Amino acid sequence: MKQFSKAALLCILVMGLVLQSFGIAPKDKSPKKVYLFAYSTEKDKGHNGLHFAWSNDKVNWFAIGPEHSFLKSDYGRWGSEKRMLQPFMFKDDTGLYHCLWSVNETDNVLAHAASTDLVIWNRQTYVPVMKNMIQDTNQTANVSDIEVTGKGTYTINWLSMDAGGTVFTTTTNDFKNYAPTQVGLVDDRKDLRKEITLMGETFEGTITEVEYSVVENLIITTQAAKYKNEHNRTSPESDAKLFAELKPLQAQIVIDAKQSKKISNLLTGVFFEDINYAADGGLYAELLQNRDFEYTPGDKENRDKNWNHTTAWSGTFMLDSLNGIHANNAHYAVLKNSTLINEGFDGIAVKAGEKYDFSVFARGAAVKVQLRDAVGTVLAETSIKPGQSWKKYSAVLSPKRTVTNARLEISTTGETAVDMVSLFPQKTYKGHKNGLRADLAESVANLHPRFLRFPGGCVAHGDGIENIYRWKNTIGPLESRKGMRNLWGYHQSMGLGYYEYFQFCEDMDAEPVPVLAAGVPCQNSGTGGAGQQFGIPMEHMDEYVQDVLDLIEYANGTTNTTWGKKRAEAGHPKPFNLKYIGIGNEDLITDVFEERYTMIVNAVRKKYPEITVIGTVGPFFEGADYREGWAIADKLNIPMVDEHYYEQPGWFINNQNFYDSYDRSKSKVYLGEYASWGSTMYNALAEALYLTGLERNGDVVSMASYAPLLAREKHTQWNPDLIYFNGSEVKPTVNYYIQQLYGSNPGDAYLQSFVKLSDNNEANKRFGVSAVTDAATGDLIIKLANVLPVSITPAVELQNIAPKGTATYTVFTEKPDSKTGKPVVSTLPAKEALTKELPPYSFTVIRFKAK
């Protein structure tokens, strides 16, 4: 509360300064009406969106920003797409501003968004207006130089981007539905786009007359954004300057057990996505790569000539697909008096004396199977005598030595066909067949996650409709599972499928939280359409909705149900007790999305009212998707929504009150993906501090998961991640230990604490305190995050609660730029624990039985 009012004051002060220093005239001297020029630039390949400049006289123009993006295009992929070319902005009779633009040089798309204040823009539409005119998909007549005229019914004309520049025309009332496009007349062009000179350059755009207050608001918006960015750009170096004069501090902390509230007992969990080789080559314990010869060049969008059905294999063999072992697994290798070698994932890591299950589908002549080290020494061997038709054969290999880079060789002196060649450690997590790599799974389990979200992330909704993750493709016999391209640029075998995910949740006593696509692919899609403008066709949506319902039956249905029976056949007759299901993943909120999402949500609610549906509110903590996602959640009364944000550590420090103002009567929040950009102690502490705020708001934030979880070294598409690994080592980050300290010290009631620091300036924001009680153990747990370069000596006064016995005292402190280190645990008399100095840059957990 105290922090909030300070922040508000600071904000007012800053705004005042901003107005003065940026030449906004006092009200009585300011012009009433001015001209506003709307344009985009080619900087950053057209990614910077809509800009404004203003003028009194249409001669002298003043940039607002100048490169501030008031509206960014959401069309297509991040990186290459999301461009705004030649925007056309105008104000309609109701005062609503409309902006239309072209998205690129290839698609026939007219983009539109509207706004009442030019700062907050509603959802965007992208209509391929040329579709009725262009039969030949290679032919392009793209949208350029748009002009809009009319009222209520608008006529839009544009030029094609080809050399001739044909005029095309259409009409619309709502910028969603357009009349069939016609070839227009050159005379229809009114030259509504204007050229101005701004900062010595010429720009083309549109001019609208507006109240000067509109311009004022735009200027304030840009300056507030700049201020926030600078304010969030903290680092250990900037701290050293900011706190150069700061002396060690004292903190009076009063914790009152009478002022408590119930909080979620599922607060921290894990987000698992098959990114960075987290599944194949990661958590899934299979040691061979491309065991089924189903990698395809398309997995890497044909960009890697070495990526195909033979990747990870060498030796002399032929590839065939005639009469394979399963329609979903057509390809196999044929050896003729030759040797076939699999290199695993950067070599195969095996341990001396441990047992490894080798299996293969084979037909033909006998084969010798050997594990060899890098110089060719045999570590273990066996042989197999297949028959003339496909059959699975198994053997156990036990290597003589520990190596990290073994390879598996299969040789024959005759002709043998092989497929689904597998080498699996017998020591998997909890000993399951087709199970998880023990050390990695243990490191996840040691976080004490209260839930596990899977299978993503973007992987859940895929790159294009065809790439949407379909859970039914991931269950059943391994040879029948349908692997596919992983949108992170590799292949997912689906060996780690829905059954294995549910089993992992059960093993860790974590709630399963599967996330399914909302009938639309990832907003970053570039395949089969751009982003989420193209959802599953409505005529196939019933089938898709049924898939979602079937998943719930698979998890919870009795063994008499179709899908419950399949679960039982896989080895788990008891239900998995699924309680949550996520629909959508940080989707672009479009009409296409909303229609499909509503259908799925309503169907789940109707058939399974006991299931908590988790909706989606975009990839950021603000913006159109966040606002519109929340508006849909309100409209549909969605019980919980999934928020995502990846930000600078300073953002987490400056926004620890983010949820204090959330309306408790609305949807609960699952903070499904968050991380500060980096793996240093500074990042970890910013997260620890933020988590004190999440605990305080545990009545509205039900769950939170750091993302992503796992990353295999040399195969990482996203940084930072919580746990890095290679074939034989697991390397938790310092951020991991913060998650672990929260995971192993959860509470179900939050006790109000009052904190008074001996310095009442900026330092206040760097000290977070959270006190919770845990009904199951009767413990009081106090967490103290000190993100300052000085120590803090606390004096904790407990009201209406008292320690019983000694305290477990855990302190985690490192230099802020350190990437290594671990918390240190000791036992202390409770009184000492409550007054012990907290080191600079530290996170401390004090835990004791309470009476």
What residues are annotated to the active site? 586
Minimum separation from the CB atom of position 817 to ligand AHR (A)? 24
Q: Which is nearer to ligand AHR, 693 or 708 (CB)?
A: 708
Q: Which residue is nearest to ligand AHR (CB)?
A: 457
Q: Which is nearer to ligand AHR, 456 or 464 (CB)?
A: 456
Residue count (the chain): 851
Q: Which is nearer to ligand AHR, 465 or 763 (CB)?
A: 465
How far is 804 from 733, CA to CA, in rounded Å?
34
Q: Which is nearer to ligand AHR, 585 or 740 (CB)?
A: 585
What are the b/e assignments for 509-537, b being 16+ CB within 10 Å? ebbbbbbbbbbbbbbbbbbebbbbbbbbe
Q: Which is nearer to ligand AHR, 722 or 781 (CB)?
A: 722
Per DSSP bridges, beta strands 710-712 and 723-725 are: parallel
Please give the size of the binding site for ligand AHR, defined by CB under 6 A. 12
Minimum separation from the CB atom of position 455 to ligand AHR (A)? 10
Q: Which of 284, 234, 125, 205 is nearest to 655 (CA)?
A: 234
Q: Does 619 contact ligand AHR by CB under 6 A?
A: yes
Q: Which of 567, 561, 394 is nearest to 474 (CA)?
A: 567
Contacts of 306 (CB under 8 A, 6+ apart): none
Pure H helices in 608-712: 624-636, 649-654, 681-696
- Packed helices 591-607 and 541-556: angle between N→C axes, nearest 10 degrees: 40
Q: Which of 159, 441, 142, 168 is nearest to 279 (CA)?
A: 441
Residues 540-569 that bind ligand AHR (CB under 6 A): none
Q: Residue 443 corresponds to which amino acid?
A: S
What are the tokens at 508?
A: 């860790």
What are the tokens at 182?
A: 């016609």
Fill in the DSSP letter of residue 495: S
Minimum separation from the CB atom of position 550 to ligand AHR (A)? 24
Q: Which is nearer to ligand AHR, 457 or 816 (CB)?
A: 457
Binder to ligand AHR among 216, 273, 286, 759 (CB under 6 A)?
273
- Packed helices 2-21 and 212-232: angle between N→C axes, nearest 10 degrees: 120
Instruction: Identify whether the C-beta of residue 419 lies closer than 8 Å to the C-beta of residue 292.
Output: yes
3-state SS of 400-466? CCCEEEEEEEEECCCEEEEEEEEEEECCEHHHCCCCEEHHHHHHHHCCCCCEEEECCCHHHHCCCHH
How far is 346 from 343, CA to CA, in rounded Å?
7
Q: Which is nearer to ligand AHR, 269 or 456 (CB)?
A: 456
Instruction: Identify whether the C-beta of residue 448 lies closer than 8 Å to the C-beta of residue 507.
Output: no
Cis bond leading into 639, ω under 30°?
A: no
Minimum separation from the CB atom of position 838 to ligand AHR (A)? 32
HSE toward the beta carbon, residue 448, CA cutoff 13 A: 14
Q: Which is nearer to ligand AHR, 107 or 586 (CB)?
A: 586
Q: Which is nearer to ligand AHR, 36 or 279 (CB)?
A: 279
Q: Which is nearer to ligand AHR, 425 or 720 (CB)?
A: 720
Q: Does 275 contact ligand AHR by CB under 6 A?
A: yes
Minimum separation from the CB atom of position 331 to ligand AHR (A)? 29
Q: Does 707 contact ligand AHR by CB under 6 A?
A: yes
Kindly indicate which of the ranges 133-141, 288-296, 452-460, 662-670 contains the residues binding ligand AHR, using the contact rule CB under 6 A: 452-460
Kindly indicate which of the ranges 2-10, 373-381, 450-458, 676-684 contains the residues binding ligand AHR, using the contact rule CB under 6 A: 450-458
> For ligand AHR, what does the binding mask look like between residues 712 and 731, x meaning CB under 6 A?
------x-------------
Minimum separation from the CB atom of position 479 to ligand AHR (A)? 28
Minimum separation from the CB atom of position 619 to ligand AHR (A)? 5
Residues 655-684 that bind ligand AHR (CB under 6 A): 673
> For ligand AHR, what does the binding mask look like between residues 154 and 193, x meaning CB under 6 A?
----------------------------------------
Q: Which is nearer to ligand AHR, 222 or 524 (CB)?
A: 524
Binder to ligand AHR among 708, 727, 747, 768 (CB under 6 A)?
708
How far is 792 from 808, CA to CA, in rounded Å?
19
Q: Residue 108 corresponds to which amino acid?
A: N
Instruction: Identify whether the C-beta of residue 420 lies closer than 8 Å to the C-beta of residue 329.
Output: yes
Q: Does 457 contact ligand AHR by CB under 6 A?
A: yes
Binder to ligand AHR among 586, 625, 628, 695 (CB under 6 A)?
586
Minimum separation from the CB atom of position 451 to ligand AHR (A)? 16
Minimum separation from the CB atom of position 710 to ligand AHR (A)? 11
- Packed helices 541-556 and 498-508: angle between N→C axes, nearest 10 degrees: 40
Phi–psi pair at 39, nearest 5 degrees: -160, 170
What are the tokens at 441?
A: 């799974």
Contacts of 775 (CB under 8 A, 6+ apart): 748, 749
Kindly indicate which of the ranges 101-109, 347-355, 413-421, 451-459 contains the residues binding ligand AHR, using the contact rule CB under 6 A: 451-459
Instruction: Identify whether the C-beta of residue 18 lies closer than 8 Å to the C-beta of residue 224.
Output: yes
How far is 158 from 165, CA to CA, in rounded Å?
9
Contacts of 606 (CB under 8 A, 6+ apart): none
Kindly indicate which of the ranges 155-163, 416-424, 456-464, 747-755 contains the residues binding ligand AHR, using the contact rule CB under 6 A: 456-464
Instruction: Identify whether the C-beta of residue 600 lies closer than 8 Å to the C-beta of residue 608.
Output: no
Minimum separation from the CB atom of position 517 to ligand AHR (A)? 12
Minimum separation from the CB atom of position 456 to ligand AHR (A)? 5
Hey, CA dihedral for 115, 120, 123, 124, is it positive or negative?
A: positive
3-state secondary structure of 539: helix
How far is 191 from 324, CA to CA, in rounded Å?
64
Q: Which is nearer to ligand AHR, 585 or 786 (CB)?
A: 585
Binder to ligand AHR among 48, 585, 648, 764 (CB under 6 A)?
585
Minimum separation from the CB atom of position 457 to ligand AHR (A)? 3
Minimum separation from the CB atom of position 707 to ligand AHR (A)? 4
Binder to ligand AHR among 184, 456, 535, 727 (CB under 6 A)?
456
Provide the Cα torsion 686, 687, 690, 691; round to 10°: -150
Contacts of 657 (CB under 8 A, 6+ apart): 3, 4, 7, 693
Q: Which is nearer to ligand AHR, 435 or 457 (CB)?
A: 457
Kindly indicate which of the ranges 173-181, 296-304, 354-362, 454-462 contains the residues binding ligand AHR, using the contact rule CB under 6 A: 454-462
Binder to ligand AHR among 408, 458, 611, 763 (CB under 6 A)?
458
Interface positions with ligand AHR (CB under 6 A) = 273, 275, 456-458, 585-586, 619, 673, 707-708, 718
